[in-house]
Structure 1
Amino acid sequence: MLAGIRSFSKSIFAKIILGVIAISFVGWGLNASMLNLGTSRQVAEIGSQNISPAELDRAFQRSIQNMRSVFGPNFDRQQAIQMGLLNNTVQNLVSQKILRENAKEMGIGISNEKVRDTIFASPGFQNETTGQFDRERFLQALYSSGYTEPEFIEGVRGDMMGQQVVGSLAGAVNAPDVMAQQIAAYRNEQRGGSFFALNPSEFDNIETPDDATLRKYHEDNAPQFTAPESRTVTLVTLSATDLAANMDVTEDEINEAYNHRLPEFQTPEKRVVEQILFAPNEKESAQEAYKALQNGADFMTVATEDAGMDPSIVKLGEFTADNILPDLRDATFGLEEGAFSEPVETALGWHIIRVTAITPERTETLDQVRNEVEEGVKQFKAEDAIYDLAARLDDELGAGTPLEEAANAVGAKTYKLNDVVRGEGLDVGIADSAEINAMIFELDKGEDSFLEETSTGVRYVARVDEVTPAALRPFEEVRDDVVAAWKADERNRLMLEKADQLAASINDQNADIASLATSENAEVTESGLTKRTGQGLADGVSPAVAAALFTLDEGKAKAIQSGENVLVLKLDEIKAATIAEGDADPVVTELKQALNEDILAQYLDYLQDEISVSVNNSVINGLYPQTAAN
């Protein structure tokens, strides 16, 4: 089964738009016939299309950023290349271009209106209040994802064209029912067992071995006692937060900012609302209830007895004029506190509204929020000024000015950082230090970074002055750590050995697990009936227990490691799955998808022979030295 085809949920545009399909074929390699080491400066040429170095670099940076959500902010370019992410990025781009080229040859086109409608319909670009397309949200999403607007629009168009081809191939296959039922039965089988944990304190009396043993342990487990690579770094930063403290602000600027931000300092009138609701065909009942209220009837009594409402539904809560049902707005905000309305018709039925409390509108004065407004003006001016300062710093560096002198020329902060270790921040109170740390470890000794910008807008340049390679710490320096680690391993070995003996007594001598637990001063815990996924495990039971239960025969036991605990686990019950109608449907869907992926992969093989594809490794090597898409 070829696993190279990804649904749009994993494509480059799926992070933002749902509903358009993009296919990424990352399972096939770039064979020798596809390599072209000529004079072209394009990364690849696919029929009438090409992949430029800039397009590859942007796509690769997006891939790295996505991986950082999995591996953390210290995941860097070199790690990405070592994991094959660069190769996959090239292949993804080539695959997308092949499908689009095929769609063009077939005469498939997507109009501007269809592309626009697709983008406008994306929930990620819609205002949460109005449900309408919000251009600011759209541009912010593109910025965060590393796309230009034209690039994104054409990407959506290309994906829609490719989907026209994909849709014509997928969907005609059927998965065998017998296979689907067998897989469903396998997945839905349940098992239950019982276990107890050995007491670690009973294995504390472990004597310290001789130095020869410890030295061998020190050598055999060298990574555990190795000092990580460290770096001495010069770091220059420009941040709006630092600049803001020295910004001058006039009274006119404060007044202007206050007036501009006035809605932020206004709290609209709020009203606590209750309602009696009758169905749309119960107008007369609503009018009778209104008369009863006029005659002094209790509002809650009428709601519960005449309208049959639950008391919790009567109390609607607190509303402003903007967030109450529009058809009820006038009635609600025209009432005095404690008053109730005549019946009001909406699509839900007939409402009688009562206002039980009113919180008047309130506006904070400039004096009350002066500090906040002033700080906001300073921050705004600083953010405006930092663009010019960053450009000046870039110009200075481009002209060959030493880093420290360039920093002084624009008023940037300079830090001398010693013993910087990968993934451990910078320890000097610098914002976004994890991002900067990751960049530092992409540099070689003596190399300056470009002028970079962190996710919160801090501009910085880093230079690696010294690199201290990772090295095994001398045994004498870490002897205490070696002793502690050896004892911990020895304790765990002895516990597993004891647990194996106890499990063997169950398997070979039919020993009772409860009696064994009592002899070990432990308590038996029931796992609960669980599936292979761990679904059904009792609270607090490790998923390792579920995995182990499905390796045992009924009535048998084994020793397992669960975190720092060592358990004796026995399988007590096997409950075969009963497959009812519809239970195998999810499996059928998965099998059909897998079969469709095979068909699409074969179609891609066909397209490789029909559409000219060349990949220029020399250009890729120039972008990322000593790497290649293989």
Structure 2
Amino acid sequence: MLAGIRSFSKSIFAKIIFSVIAISFVAWGLNASMLNLGTSREVAEIGSQSISPVELDRAFQRSVQNMRSVFGPNFDRQQAIQMGLLNNTVQSLVSQKILRENAKDMGIGISNEKVRGTIFASPGFQNETTGQFDRERFLQALYSSGYSEPEFVEGVRGDMMGQQIVGSLAGAITAPNIMAQQIAAYRNEQRSGSFFALNASEFENIETPDDTKLRQYHEDNAAQFTAPESRNVTLATLSAADLVETMDVTEDEILEAYNHRLPEFQTPEKRVVEQILFAPNEKESAQEAYKALQGGADFMTVAAEDAGMDPSIVKLGEFTADNILPDLRDVTFALDEGAFSEPVETALGWHIIRVPAITAERIETLDQVRTDVVSGVKRFKAEDAIYDLAAKLDDELGAGTPLEEAANAAGAKTVKLNDVVRGEDLGADIADGREINAKIFELGKGEESLLEETSTGVRYVVRIDDVTPSALRPFEDVRDDVIAAWKEDERSRQMIEKADQLAASINDQSADIATLATSDNAELIKSGLAKRTGEGLASNVSPAVAATLFTLEEGKAKAIQSGDSVLVLKLDEIKAADIAEGDADPVISELKQALNQDILAQYLDYLQNEISVSVNNSAINALYPQTAAN
């Protein structure tokens, strides 16, 4: 939640463009009393405002797109809904509307000039070289994020209204300077040490103990040698994938499917777009530039000399009608190749558009995509047929027919699975095996499930034929495993024991760690001057070394385990933090933001009760029918 406050207070632009946080610090949920919109088609109503299905869908799609940068391109809406991202998007939109509604009630308004000035001053839209507003960067950000220009401008206006409230709430908050200095001193203290790893070859020859000791180890570490509960089951499955190749397809069905899916096989017209852009108050300059172009002037020359634009900014790239800025769509796609438009006004100014190249729409023929279409028809028919087969299987089971006979009558696959262990997959030949595994361990011996369905649509029924309880494996069956485990534990014990003795010789007898390392035929390593976070450690040093250094007194040593190695570590130096003026400022900022978070959360909780909020789950379910928001 602290990140949400930080994002809100520092950059409303990043929040709008990337939709990462919105106002995610809102802790309250959407309770039952808020779910009451009757037959309204809106997703939510907040005072005099509303959230339309289109607004929610666009915001949710942006959230999904952002998550793909984390989880990869295959991250889809269903996964996002399962992770709660849809609910978070709804709550973020509601939170924004609540603050805006409150701002309206308080008479807070933001002029067009202030909105424009705020956008132009945003560092994210400025040229890295000149520091000036870069129109191309701004437009490309809108294009890639799925915002129309009016939508973005109004988003900035609304958030500026909300920021007025946020600023008034947070303005008087101060963080204690002495606390910030103490935290900064704690964080910035540095320590360095020396260490060496024991020679592991010295502990290679561990003798095998007698069986009396091994049997005792077997009993003392029973969990290590215990077989998990296992089950023998009979599983019947019905899957559309198993039926696909049995489906017959006619030419009429193929043609109908092709026509239905025709948009998939169309590559829309694309146009290379260039623009000359003048500021909102430069209409006359835009008209003069248009006249010059009509007189034969070169487009790029006019852009450079009259509008002061670099060629790289003039060339916007290639667009389809769906991904170009909506305000420029009609004029752009009405131009002939090589032609330019009259000046067109948007909230950003006056645009002259040129289309130097057009790639015509392309449609793949049925013959070119026949294999794909036929496979699709077969899948559709198989998925349709599976409903009737599942109903037949359910009817047979309901009539008392044994599972094997019922499965055979319905054409279901039957398999016997032995020694199934909780949490494991059921094998490559069984789809959604882990889901089915979970159901197996909900049942008792002799019990049979109802007709169940997995997340991918596999229908199944499972019967528990036998249960083998969890039990300690007999010593004779695992003797070799017991020997290996005992030796490993003994090796570790001996190494730690020796390392403890060496550390004690440093602590109690002032032994020299370098001499001890040489005696053990080991290399002495310097940790580097590091902070508690590990910053400053040498590249070949484990973070466990830094953590241990901050538990020692200066000049003292300790034995630690790092991976497979056992180390003897000595603290050589403690360098106290020298807190100069300004060093505690980041801590003060964090403390202030944390206090802001608490105040804002309480204020939004108050507004929830003061401003009418209604969320329409029916509209959300209709928008996302596969998985409903909770």
Q: TM-score, normalised by structure 1?
A: 0.61
Residues 298 and 117 of structure 1: is their aligned pair in 2 closer, same or farther, counting only changes over 3 Å? closer
SS at match of 2:45: helix
Residues in 1 aligned to 2:402 and 2:471: alpha-carbon distance in whole angstroms: 32
- Asked whether 1:235 is paired with 2:235, we answer yes
Given that 1:230 and 1:422 are in contact with CA atoms closer than 8 Å, whether structure 2 keeps it comes out as yes
SS at match of 2:405: helix
Given that 1:279 and 1:348 are in contact with CA atoms closer than 8 Å, whether structure 2 keeps it comes out as yes
SS at match of 1:117: strand
Residues in 2 aligned to 1:180 and 1:457: alpha-carbon distance in whole angstroms: 58
- Asked whether 1:206 is paired with 2:195, we answer no
Q: CA-to-partner distance for each residue in 1:417-474, whole Å, 9 max, x for gaps?
A: 1121122211142111111112112221111122221111111111111122233334
- Asked whether 1:524 is paired with 2:528, we answer no
Given that 2:225 and 2:473 are in contact with CA atoms closer than 8 Å, whether structure 1 keeps it comes out as yes
Residues 293 and 124 of structure 1: is their aligned pair in 2 closer, same or farther, counting only changes over 3 Å? closer
- Written as runs of structure 1 = structure 2, the 5 A alignment for 1:241-320 is 241-283=241-283, 287-288=288-289, 291=292, 299=300, 309=309, 313-320=313-320
Structure 1 position 234, deviation (Å) = 0.4
Residues in 2 aligned to 1:592 and 1:145: alpha-carbon distance in whole angstroms: 28
SS at match of 1:126: helix
Residues in 1 aligned to 2:185 and 2:362: alpha-carbon distance in whole angstroms: 64
Residue identity matched to 2:417:
L
| Equivalent in the alignment of 2:71 | none
Residues 409 and 362 of structure 1: is their aligned pair in 2 closer, same or farther, counting only changes over 3 Å? same
The counterpart of 2:44, out of the listed 105, 116, 121, is: 116
Structure 1 position 484, deviation (Å) = 3.0
Structure 1 position 233, deviation (Å) = 0.8
| Equivalent in the alignment of 1:38 | none
| Equivalent in the alignment of 1:221 | 221
Residues in 1 aligned to 2:502 and 2:285: alpha-carbon distance in whole angstroms: 75
Structure 1 position 530, deviation (Å) = 3.8
| Equivalent in the alignment of 1:461 | 461
Residue identity matched to 1:583:
V
Residues in 1 aligned to 2:54 and 2:575: alpha-carbon distance in whole angstroms: 45
Structure 1 position 126, deviation (Å) = 1.8
Structure 1 position 297, deviation (Å) = 5.5
Q: TM-score, normalised by structure 2?
A: 0.61
Given that 2:184 and 2:584 are in contact with CA atoms closer than 8 Å, whether structure 1 keeps it comes out as no
Structure 1 position 524, deviation (Å) = 3.3
Structure 1 position 382, deviation (Å) = 2.3
Given that 2:239 and 2:386 are in contact with CA atoms closer than 8 Å, whether structure 1 keeps it comes out as yes
| Equivalent in the alignment of 1:394 | 394
Residues in 2 aligned to 1:488 and 1:597: alpha-carbon distance in whole angstroms: 53
Given that 1:177 and 1:588 are in contact with CA atoms closer than 8 Å, whether structure 2 keeps it comes out as no
Residue identity matched to 1:208:
E
Structure 1 position 187, deviation (Å) = 7.1
Q: CA-to-partner distance for each residue in 1:531-581, whole Å, 9 max, x for gaps?
A: 46x678777865544543442334544333333343444554455595745
Residues 412 and 109 of structure 1: is their aligned pair in 2 closer, same or farther, counting only changes over 3 Å? closer
Residue identity matched to 2:587:
D
Residues 121 and 484 of structure 1: is their aligned pair in 2 closer, same or farther, counting only changes over 3 Å? farther
Given that 2:196 and 2:522 are in contact with CA atoms closer than 8 Å, whether structure 1 keeps it comes out as no
SS at match of 2:466: strand
SS at match of 1:493: helix
Given that 2:199 and 2:520 are in contact with CA atoms closer than 8 Å, whether structure 1 keeps it comes out as no
Residue identity matched to 2:362:
R
- Asked whether 1:407 is paired with 2:338, we answer no
SS at match of 1:271: strand
| Equivalent in the alignment of 1:326 | 326
Residues in 2 aligned to 1:327 and 1:256: alpha-carbon distance in whole angstroms: 36
Instruction: Give the fraction of aligned pairs with identical amino acids, expressed as a percent.
Output: 60
SS at match of 1:486: helix
Q: CA-to-partner distance for each residue in 1:42-67, whole Å, 9 max, x for gaps?
A: xxxxxxxxxxxxxxxxxxxxxxxxxx
- Asked whether 1:583 is paired with 2:587, we answer yes
- Written as runs of structure 1 = structure 2, the 5 A alignment for 1:442-591 is 442-501=442-501, 503-504=503-504, 507=507, 509=510, 511=512, 516=517, 521-522=522-523, 524=525, 526=527, 529-531=530-532, 544-571=544-571, 572-576=573-577, 580=584, 583-584=587-588, 586-587=590-591
Residues 458 and 214 of structure 1: is their aligned pair in 2 closer, same or farther, counting only changes over 3 Å? same
Given that 2:527 and 2:545 are in contact with CA atoms closer than 8 Å, whether structure 1 keeps it comes out as no
Residues 240 and 335 of structure 1: is their aligned pair in 2 closer, same or farther, counting only changes over 3 Å? same
- Written as runs of structure 1 = structure 2, the 5 A alignment for 1:28-427 is 116-117=44-45, 120=51, 125-127=56-58, 177=176, 181=180, 184=183, 188-194=187-193, 198=197, 201-203=200-202, 205-212=204-211, 213-283=213-283, 287-288=288-289, 291=292, 299=300, 309=309, 313-335=313-335, 344-355=344-355, 357-427=357-427
SS at match of 1:396: helix
Residue identity matched to 2:45:
D
SS at match of 1:207: coil
| Equivalent in the alignment of 2:137 | none
Q: CA-to-partner distance for each residue in 1:303-358, whole Å, 9 max, x for gaps?
A: 67775556654443331111011233345435565666565443223445454554
Structure 1 position 238, deviation (Å) = 1.3
Given that 1:192 and 1:574 are in contact with CA atoms closer than 8 Å, whether structure 2 keeps it comes out as yes
Structure 1 position 231, deviation (Å) = 1.4
Residues in 2 aligned to 1:413 and 1:517: alpha-carbon distance in whole angstroms: 69
| Equivalent in the alignment of 2:438 | 438
My pick for the range that moved more, 494-503 or 367-376, is 494-503
My pick for the range that moved more, 432-441 or 543-552, is 543-552
Instruction: Give the number of equivalent residue pairs.
Output: 477
Q: CA-to-partner distance for each residue in 1:456-507, whole Å, 9 max, x for gaps?
A: 1111111111122233334443333333333333333344344445545655
Residues 585 and 128 of structure 1: is their aligned pair in 2 closer, same or farther, counting only changes over 3 Å? closer
Given that 1:231 and 1:468 are in contact with CA atoms closer than 8 Å, whether structure 2 keeps it comes out as yes
My pick for the range that moved more, 540-549 or 289-298, is 289-298
Residues in 2 aligned to 1:206 and 1:516: alpha-carbon distance in whole angstroms: 22
Residues in 2 aligned to 1:454 and 1:443: alpha-carbon distance in whole angstroms: 17
Residues 221 and 120 of structure 1: is their aligned pair in 2 closer, same or farther, counting only changes over 3 Å? same
Residue identity matched to 1:117:
E
Structure 1 position 226, deviation (Å) = 2.5
Residues 515 and 493 of structure 1: is their aligned pair in 2 closer, same or farther, counting only changes over 3 Å? closer
SS at match of 2:223: helix
Unaligned runs of 5+ in 1: 1-16, 25-95, 101-107, 133-138, 161-170, 599-630
Given that 2:189 and 2:576 are in contact with CA atoms closer than 8 Å, whether structure 1 keeps it comes out as yes
Given that 1:527 and 1:545 are in contact with CA atoms closer than 8 Å, whether structure 2 keeps it comes out as no
Residues in 2 aligned to 1:122 and 1:189: alpha-carbon distance in whole angstroms: 50
Structure 1 position 193, deviation (Å) = 3.7
